Amino acid sequence: MKLTAGKISIITISTILLIDQILKIWIKTHMALYEKTSVLGNWFYINFVENNGMAFGMEFGGDFGKLFLSIFRIVAVSGIAYYLYSTIKKGATTGFIICLSMILAGAIGNIIDSAFYGLIFSDSPEYMPHFKQVAQFLPESGGYAGFLHGKVVDMFWFPILQGHYPGWIPFIGGSEYIFFRPVFNFADSAISVGIFIIIIFQKKFFPQADDKSTVSE
């Protein structure tokens, strides 16, 4: 039985959300804040951090900024969802629908953290080598924050290159550099990969726009 574009979109979104939330809940309930473990030598770590702001650990100022960003995410997700729906109706390519579904799922995944994690989890204690504590699910004393004020859980860290800048470089000489420094999650990955594929295959996904530009020339 051939799957319709709508069903493919639903499967893509559901799969990404399921993987994203399983990973985040496991990390939140099994690791202390800033605890990390090596997966692939010094190149790939599971490193539990939380952020109050945007993707890849970037911040966006205080409680008001957090609330504004959460509301902005909800509005943006609504716009993406409507665009995805209209794109499916117009008979867009399966690849483009999957990419949009990945972006939408990633955005929803991080909204779930912001909206509900503060309500259902206790705060995550910082890692201590000889006395590790982890967050509790549905604690009796209540969660660590209100609705839309939860923190986003991140865990993937790829410090592929590490070292120090040469001393002769102005301002940054002698300081440490790490590539890739940001810690991110599965939802961030889905958004980034979806956008990257759209950029790479834009001529295939938007053939009409390409034809119009050719005619105008």
Whether the per-residue pLDDT at 56 is higher than 60: the answer is no
pLDDT > 90: what percent of the chain?
65
pLDDT average, residue stretch 207-216: 53
Confidence of residue 59 (pLDDT cuts 50, 70, 90): low
**Catalytic residue, candidates 63, 123, 188, 210:** 188
Tell me the pTM.
0.85
CA distance 93 to 102: 14
CA distance 203 to 214: 12
Task: Quote the strand ranges of the chain, DSSP E.
Answer: 36-40, 44-51, 152-157, 161-164, 176-179, 183-184
Q: Strand, coil or helix: what is 143? A: coil
Helix segments in 31-181, DSSP class H: 62-89, 94-112, 118-120
Per the annotation, the verdict on 188 as an active-site residue is yes
pLDDT, tens digit (0-9, with 9 covering 90-100), for 62-85: 566 677 788 888 999 999 999 999
**Catalytic residue, candidates 113, 154, 210, 211:** 154
- With a CB cutoff of 8 Å and minimum separation 6, the contacts of 169 are none
> Any idea which residue has 């912001």 for tokens?
114
pLDDT, tens digit (0-9, with 9 covering 90-100), for 84-132: 999 999 999 999 999 999 999 999 999 999 999 999 999 999 999 888 8
Per the annotation, the verdict on 154 as an active-site residue is yes
Which pLDDT score is estimated for 181? Answer: 80
